[in-house]
Amino acid sequence: MALSFTCSASISTQHQARVNFKSNKGLEDVRNLIKTVGVPSITCSPVKSLQNGNWVKLICGASFEDVVDIRNLSLVYTLAGVDCIDCAADVSVVNAVNEGIDAAIEILPLRRPWVMISVNDDEDLHFRKAEFDPEDCPLDCSKPCERVCPADAISLEAQNSTTQLSFHTNAPGAFKGGVLTERCYGCGRCIPVCPYDKIRVTSYIREAATTSELLKRNDVDAVEIHTTGRQIAPFKELWDGLADSIKYLRLAAVSLPDIGEATVSSMKDMYSVMEPDLCCFNLWQLDGRPMSGDIGRGATRESIAFALRLAAIKDRPHGLYI
């Protein structure tokens, strides 16, 4: 089975709603709001949405791990009728997504969106975290990193300059705080704005074995594999590591950027790797560039140009219908 489209609609975590699950009042407020404003009735299954070309996915972020926000987002966007919620391949995050979906369904008996987890086969912008030592930051820095972060993932406060000495600098006072790791989704905006070049990034690759166990859960429906598309070996290694869990899925998505002339042959090679294990739908998520729609100008134009180029190809990779 194959279903493919050139892009997925996404709603960024910047537009967040905060609901306090600990207090019944938070949920009661949502219930009352739904009664007042209503929600559109959802008649379309996620598969039907894919076939109709109007599939909507909430992207929590492959690295975003703030479980409270993720749970709240999942509640709100399930009520809004999204077809899929994409999140980090992490047990706590997956639990948070499902708690949000369950809470939404308790409010209204809606159909469940699919839960998709994101993994990578190589270094990828989606899988990295910023870090710096706040005690190394000059106290007169105007903290542009904090202002530019779209996820409120940087929090800095000056320690009392007269009563505390910084251990590292032996200078009076220092910043405390820094990057809130679970909120950082690796967008990289903070790096170029630091006037003192203090911010580093750490990239990571999700473990196939852990991901495979998550995919076997009955509350996980789909996987998104982020790949550079430039080398088949790491893709094959990851796929082989996931292969025995693919049969539990409804959808296996592959996300790759435009790599020019090699794009189509790379997609064909990847499909050959996947085909023996594919008993679910497959989806190509073709961004013009990684983190498209988030970083940098012109990302949408690049994505559309990419789609048009692929649409013009006669010998298309399996499952590419535009």
Determine, following the binding rule CB under 6 A, whether residue 252 of this chain makes contact with ligand SF4. Answer: no
Spell out the residues 6+ positions from residue 94 whose beta carbon is closer than 8 angstroms to its own: 87, 115, 117, 214, 217, 219, 220
Determine, following the binding rule CB under 6 A, whether residue 256 of this chain makes contact with ligand SF4. Answer: no
- Please report how close the Cβ of residue 134 comes to ligand SF4 at its closest, in angstroms: 7
- Please report how close the Cβ of residue 299 comes to ligand SF4 at its closest, in angstroms: 16
- The strand ranges marked E within 73-159 are 84-88, 114-120, 128-131, 154-158
In the complex with ligand SF4, the residue whose CB is nearer, 127 or 185, is 185
Task: Please give the residues from 157 up to 196 whose contact with ligand SF4 meets the rule CB under 6 A.
Answer: 179, 184-190, 194, 196
Identify the three-state secondary structure at position 200.
Answer: strand
Spell out the residues 6+ positions from residue 190 whose beta carbon is closer than 8 angstroms to its own: 130, 145, 148, 149, 154, 199
Joined tokens for residue 217: 């859960």
Joined tokens for residue 86: 């994409």
Question: Number of residues in contact with ligand SF4, rule: CB under 6 A?
Answer: 25
Identify the three-state secondary structure at position 128.
Answer: strand
Q: What gap in Å lies between CA 276 and CA 17, rounded to an integer? A: 42
Give the x/- contact pattern for ligand SF4 in 8-47, rule: CB under 6 A: ----------------------------------------
Q: Which amino acid is at 239?
A: W
Give the x/- contact pattern for ligand SF4 in 122-161, rule: CB under 6 A: --------x-x----x---x-xxx--xx-x-xx-x-----
Determine, following the binding rule CB under 6 A, whether residue 270 of this chain makes contact with ligand SF4. Answer: no
Determine, following the binding rule CB under 6 A, whether residue 291 of this chain makes contact with ligand SF4. Answer: no
Give the x/- contact pattern for ligand SF4 in 196-215, rule: CB under 6 A: x-xx----------------
- Please report how close the Cβ of residue 197 comes to ligand SF4 at its closest, in angstroms: 8
In the complex with ligand SF4, the residue whose CB is nearer, 61 or 229, is 61
What residues form DSSP beta bridges with 119?
Answer: 225
CA 227 and chain centroid, separation:
14
- Please report how close the Cβ of residue 322 comes to ligand SF4 at its closest, in angstroms: 32
Determine, following the binding rule CB under 6 A, whether residue 257 of this chain makes contact with ligand SF4. Answer: no
**Main-chain dihedrals φ then ψ at residue 138, nearest 5 degrees:** -60, 135
Joined tokens for residue 291: 């983190």
Label the pairing between strands 84-88 and 9-11: unpaired
Longest dimension (CA), the chain: 72
Chain contacts with ligand SF4 (rule: CB under 6 A): 130, 132, 137, 141, 143-145, 148-149, 151, 153-154, 156, 179, 184-190, 194, 196, 198-199
